[in-house]
Amino acid sequence: MKKVLFLGAPGVGKGTFAKRIAPRLNLRHLSAGELLRGHVKEGSALGRLAKPFLDKGLMVPSEHSVTMMKHEVSKLQASSRVNGYILDGFPRVLEQAQMWSDLALGDGNPELVINISLSRSVLVHKLASRRICGACGDNYNLADIRYGHYDMPPMLPKSEGYATPVARDWKAPIIVLYSVLGVLEERSIEHSPYLPCRFGVMMTLMTSYNID
């Protein structure tokens, strides 16, 4: 089973790339944030534990998120319907990465870790303009960034929404870990059109690691 991690600050585009790439390579996109919000909506035991942290914009304790992701991957392994998975938004910190390695279900280390980067000023603009629908949990964005090589039109929100906190800096130790393991690829989306060009580059990178 192929294992890919997309790292990067919130707002950099991990989910956007993962959602488009995963089906083309018969991979499952596993978004930690979407899964947690789903548990909250369902009112599951995990959802009740996670809700106070999510409401305050805090990271859910590692033991809960690691257990959740282990359960999701176990289901994929049992189904044999996909070639692997892309983890989006997990692991976020070194503690989670170490716990995940210990609980990897005999799956070993990822074949590829892509750290996506973007200008801090653009990230702040995007995050400050982000809204989340209070009813369905979908993300929307009011930012209209059109200068230089950037072309990021807004994703208009529904009437019910609220601003999410601007994220903290991405934690460096996890980047160092995957670099030492020899599976890290750094990809900036600074100098190309935001999605169309970079999508092709990402696909080429994935296939070069035999993620297909």
The reported pLDDT for the residue numbered 72 is: 92
Pick one of 1.20.5.510, 3.40.50.300, 3.30.1330.10, 3.40.50.800 as the CATH number of 2-118+177-208. Answer: 3.40.50.300
The reported pLDDT for the residue numbered 126 is: 58
The reported pLDDT for the residue numbered 127 is: 62
The reported pLDDT for the residue numbered 208 is: 82
The reported pLDDT for the residue numbered 163 is: 39
- What is the Cα–Cα distance from 73 to 50, expressed in whole angstroms? 20
The reported pLDDT for the residue numbered 165 is: 41
C-alpha distances (whole Å) from 30 to each of 55, 89, 133, 144, 191 are 21, 9, 20, 28, 28
Q: Could you tell me what percentage of the chain is helix, strand and coil, using 3-state DSSP and rounding each to the nearest 5?
A: 45, 20, 35
If the chain, 212 residues long, is cut into consecutive pieces of 10 residues, what is the mean pLDDT of each piece? 86 85 93 93 94 90 92 87 90 87 66 83 63 57 50 45 42 76 78 59 81 76
The reported pLDDT for the residue numbered 195 is: 55
